[in-house]
Amino acid sequence: MKPGTAMRHLFADTALSLGPDAPTLCTPWTVRDLVAHEVVRQSRPDALPGIGLDVGVLRRRTETVQAEIARRDFEELVRTVRQGPPVWWPTRLPGVDELVNTAEFAVHHEDMVRAQPGWEPGPSPYGPELATALWKQLRQAGRVAYRSAPVGVVAVADDYGRVALRRPRPGTGTVVLRGEPIELLLHAFGRTDAAQVRLEGSDADVGALLAHTRAF
């Protein structure tokens, strides 16, 4: 099973196990809202611009469409996500699906799991193939996420390697992020508090990176 498809199924399984009203890290969204968001991403081109562009009229259109979709039967929504987009949707192409959806579903899967009361780190649901795919995603998405970072950024994952994601600006140093691929990906996507990542660098550089808002 391709990584994008595997992550899609893991996301769907977790959504069903938690139920529609469970919280997520994407406050104030519940699991239902997060599933509806994915339905919008894979089937409503008219509402896509409001996801990526912070323009009032576009964002309001997206919110209206998502709210309408969220009122559908929850299990139907999860089935829609699990089966993937219609045949004419670009992410039906395997390479595009992996590029666009592997990190998307991995991060939102953790948004659901880690928002539950009493969550603690446990055995990873990501086998070697998926973890390798997530590391690949980090190498690509991380350069975008940290492109405006005030310091240099290097990511290191045991058994996967290291990658420079941002060169330091004059007068600044570099912060090294250490963790598993999914943890580094969460940090890159702005889940700073939830990511199990160790930051190494001077106090000033680490503080500057912690205050940095990811730029997607």
Chain segment 20-70, per-residue pLDDT in tens: 999 999 999 999 999 999 999 988 888 776 776 676 888 888 888 999 999
Do residue 104 and residue 181 come from a single domain? no
User: Is the four-CA dihedral 116, 67, 41, 88 of positive or negative sign?
Assistant: positive
Nearest C-alpha neighbor of 22 from the set 9, 35, 10: 35
Q: How far apart are CA 171 and CA 130, in angstroms?
A: 38
Is residue 49 a contact partner of residue 83, using CB atoms and an 8 Å limit? no
- Do residues 59 and 102 both lie within one domain? yes
Q: How many CB atoms lie within 10 A of CB 160?
A: 18
- Last-in-domain residue among 46, 78, 113: 113
CB 66 within 8 A of CB 37: yes
By residue range, what is the domain housing residue 159? 128-210
Q: Which of 113, 137, 167 is the last residue of a domain?
A: 113
DSSP 170: T
Instruction: Say if residue 20 is in the same domain as residue 83.
Output: yes
- Dump pLDDT digits (tens) for 79-133: 999 998 888 777 777 677 777 789 999 999 999 999 999 999 988 899 899 999 9
Would you state the structure tokens that stand for residue 100, as one six-digit string? 């666009």
pTM confidence score: 0.91
Same domain, 80 and 132: no
- Per the structure, how many domains does the chain have? 2
Residue 36 Cα to chain centre, angstroms: 15
